[in-house]
Amino acid sequence: MRSAVAVIMAILGVVLVLSGAGAFWAVALTRTKTEPTADPSSRWGRGLEVAGRLPTPDRLIVWGVVLLALSAVAAGAITISATATAGTS
């Protein structure tokens, strides 16, 4: 069950990072061109407009990295241990 959760979180993390990068790309594409990049009535043009209007693509990337880190912990690639000893002198 742990490995299934790790795989699902890894897939979602990759999707979030790639969608954030795609949104940054769309924002850059729409802002650098003075002429319209694509016909707004076409599917590609509407997709660019929607991706360009996303509030902050960096949040998608941050949450994707968080999910990737959590999936690494769930898969056992990263282990966290804490030890405490009581000294008697």
Please count the structural domains in the chain. 1
User: Which residue's structure tokens are 């990295």?
Assistant: 65
Kind plus residue range of the DSSP H or E element containing 50: helix 43-52
- Is residue 58 in a domain? yes
Identify the band that residue 9 occupies on the pLDDT scale cut at 50, 70 and 90: confident
Span 14-71, pLDDT tens digits: 998 898 888 888 777 766 655 555 566 777 777 777 666 666 777 788 888 888 888 8
- Is the Cα dihedral 1, 11, 70, 63 positive or negative? negative
* Pair of tokens at residue 77: 């690639």
- Is residue 67 in a domain? yes
- Is residue 89 in a domain? no
Instruction: Please give the model's pTM, rounded to 2 decimal places.
Output: 0.59
- Is residue 86 in a domain? no
Residue 1: Cβ within 10 Å count: 6
Taking CA atoms, 38 is separated from 11, 33, 48, 53, 56, in Å, by: 31, 11, 8, 15, 22
Structure confidence at residue 57 (pLDDT)? 76
Domain range holding 31?
A: 2-75
Kindly tell me if the per-residue pLDDT of 75 is higher than 80.
Answer: yes
